[in-house]
Structures are given as structure tokens and as C-alpha cells.
Structure 1
Amino acid sequence: MDLSDDYAGAGFGQPLDWGSSPAVLVIDMVRAYFEPGAELYLGSRSCLDSAARVVGAARAAGVPVILTRVAYAADGVDGGLFYRKVGALRHFATGAPGSLGEIMPEVAPADGDLVVTKQYASAFFGTSLAATLAARRIDTLVLCGVSTSGCVRATAVDAISSGYVPIVVADAVGDRDPRPHEASLFDLAAKYAEVWSEEKVLKRLNQR
């Protein structure tokens, strides 16, 4: 049996409706993932270019844009076991050489955008994001960023758990290998989120 048919037959992948008050959430699109030669380099910029187009459309439509970045104390103590598990996170510690924690200029914050600093995979864990969304009456999160199998997935799971509709933009998320990327998109669409193409998302934003 085809895998998609198997999942559909078990009741996975039921559609979620886009709400009336969306925000675009750009997850960790920082130099560490797009700088050739960097330890975390993804090997492609296509998701960054797609995210830039989504952000531009959101701003034109008056849709809030929120960005996340990662930062740790010099010794990584605020990163706990996660910091120890993923050695490359040391590049985000205070005083680390270079500027790998800087948000890429293609999606750099504009006036009115919110930047959330986080230490763990989910943009919700240990941050003010949920309170900010509630205060602004946001009901839908359009997710762009990296990595699909890591911070994007963790954020989508926490979003739906917190009552927000997660819309993952397939073209605007990326990973260091296509295998975890594709597997994560499949599983997200089955259980935790809607997975939309950039074209479909841009059309929806342009209708606002």
C-alpha cells in the first residue's frame, strides 16, 4: 500500500483551516546555516530566498512578522543538555568568534518586527512567544526557517499544542540533507501542521 494512502486510511492528515489572524514566524535564519564552510552550513540558500518572498508579502499585507535567533551565555549554561548534545551550538555562545548568530539580511528585521531569542529547538519553549501571540490575537502561524527536522518541527508541534494553526511553507524551510527534510514534511502534514507551497502561501497573503 502506498504510504500516503496508508496514513490517510488511518485518519491522519485531516485539514486545518487558515484562521483570520495570521503571523509569519521566521525560525533561525542566521549566518551559521548559510555561510559556506560553517559547521552548520545547509549547502543551499533556496529556502532563504523563499522565506524572503513570504516575509515581503506578509509585510505588504500588514501581517505581523516574528523572527527567532539563538543565543547562549559564554559557557552555554542556559542551553542545558541541548547545548551539550549538539556541539555546534557553541557558535551561538556569547563571545564566540564571527557573526554566525546574525539574522540573514534577506529576512532581517524591519521596523515593527519582533525578534525572539531562544535557547532550545522550539520557538515557544522558555520564551515570550505564546504570550505575544495571545496578546495580538494571532490564530495562525506561517512557518519558515531551519531546520525542518529540528527547530521548525519542534515549533510546529508546540504551536498546534498551544492552539495555533501551523502552516509550514515547504519551499521556505530547509535541512542539511533531503532525507530528514522530506520525512519531517510528511510527518508534519500527517499529524501536526498544514504543509503549503510558497505559491499557495503568497496567494493567500496577497488576498488580504
Structure 2
Amino acid sequence: MSFPGLTYGPLGDHCAHLCVDMQKLFAEPSEWATPWITRVLPKIVGLVERKAEQTIFTRFLPAERPGQGAGTWKRYYERWASMTIEKVGPEMAELLPPLSSLCPPALVIDKHVYSPWPEGRLQAVLAERRIDTLVVTGGETDVCVLATVLGAIDIGYRVVLVTDALCSSSDATHDALMTVYHQRFAQQVETVEMEAVLLAWS
């Protein structure tokens, strides 16, 4: 049986769904709102409902107060003082409600930068589960998803990027990154729609 778009065949027992930053922080009326987030949410919910035990959510946690953070992150949280935990409240860091209700069995891993890799917990969990393939959804295509994908490539994971389950606040850079994934990372990133993932992941 062939799986259109999946160059390297079906998704097996050593596959995990890594869902990036589908949080209240990035939904209306937040200053960081990603307009498409509600468009891709139903597709992500559908996958999590089928694969909750194989799903890991990352959550981006802003600084507690303005000016915190190392290096340029200090400047970042001066610019985005309105988005610190002190200002928005800790509940804004929570997953969107249809997803939070699926935890557990889905797992949540917090991070404080764009990439989920430097803090180490994600890779430890994946190694314990003997994961070699990551199905990636979430946002933003051109920021945290990008950091997630590049780190996964460096570690050596097979990366399956679900094109209709990604969102960004910028159409232009979303489209540009999809071109990069197709043209520059085709050996290491397979780009497919959700339907192909559901068919290929028994």
C-alpha cells in the first residue's frame, strides 16, 4: 500500500505526535493571536483523539515579568511586557480547551524559548519511548514550529509536517517556510495533509 506524500512509508509504533504551542496565548484577544489557530484546531483535535497516548504538547511559557530573560530575551520581554505572565495571568499559558481535556493521557512539556530541545526533557521522553518519527502540528510555522523541526532534523528524527494543521500570524512567512521545507529539507521532512497521516498511522 502506498501513502501519498510519505516518501518513507507508513508511521509505526515508534512515532509520536508533537503538537507545538496550541495555547490561549496565541488565540484572540491576545496580542500574539494567530488568526488561523481556530482553523487548524479541529484537525489537531481529531488526531489527538485518535493518538492521545502518543501525543506530546509543548507550551511556550513567557517570562514572569518584563525585562527577565538571558541576553536578547531580556530586550524581547521589555518589548512584549504586556505578554508576561505577570500581565496576562498563568491561565493564558494553558492549552486551548479542546486539547487540555485530553491531558492525560497526552503529555505536556513546557519550554521558555522557541525550541523545545535545549531544556532536555522532550528528548529524554522521546528516547525513553524509543521514538524515531515525529508528526508535527501547531504554530507558528515560521517560529516555534521551525525551531522544533530544525532541532528534530539535527537529532536525526524522521519529521512528518502536517501542512493543514500548522498556523502562523503571517501568511507570507508561512508560505515561505513551506517552500523551504519542500525544497531544502525534502530528504528529512515529509510534508503531507492530515488525511495522509490518519491513513498511514495505524
TM-score (norm 2): 0.83
Query: Is residue 22 of structure 2 the alignment partner of residue 32 of structure 1?
Result: no
Match of 2:73 among 75, 82, 94: 82
Deviation at 1:125, TM superposition (A): 2.1
- How many percent of aligned residue pairs carry the same amino acid? 28
Residue 204 of structure 1 is matched in structure 2 by 200
Counterpart Cα distance in 1 of 2:63 and 2:195: 39
Deviations 1:137-188 (A, max 9, x none): 0011111111000101110110011011111111111001221111111212
Residue 66 of structure 1 is matched in structure 2 by 56
Tell me if the contact between 2:10 and 2:200 (Cα under 8 Å) persists in the aligned partners.
no
Tell me if the contact between 1:83 and 1:90 (Cα under 8 Å) persists in the aligned partners.
no
Tell me if the contact between 2:63 and 2:85 (Cα under 8 Å) persists in the aligned partners.
yes
Moved more, 142-151 or 179-188: 179-188
Partner of 1:176, secondary structure, is: coil
Gaps (5+ residues) in structure 1?
Answer: 1-13
Match of 2:162 among 154, 169, 179: 169
Relative distance call for 1:142 and 1:102 in structure 2 (3 A) is same
Counterpart Cα distance in 1 of 2:156 and 2:20: 19
Deviations 1:76-103 (A, max 9, x none): 6346423533744752x34333432110
TM-score (norm 1): 0.80
Partner of 1:149, secondary structure, is: coil
Counterpart Cα distance in 1 of 2:174 and 2:81: 20
* Structure 1: 4+ residue segments shifted above 6 A: none
* Alignment of structure 1 residues 3-18 onto 2, 5 Å: 15-17=7-9
Relative distance call for 1:40 and 1:82 in structure 2 (3 A) is same
Relative distance call for 1:162 and 1:48 in structure 2 (3 A) is same
How many equivalent residue pairs? Answer: 189
Partner of 2:105, secondary structure, is: coil
Query: Is residue 135 of structure 2 the alignment partner of residue 142 of structure 1?
Result: yes
Counterpart Cα distance in 2 of 1:41 and 1:72: 14
- Alignment RMSD: 2.4
Counterpart Cα distance in 2 of 1:171 and 1:154: 19
Match of 1:179 among 169, 172, 189: 172
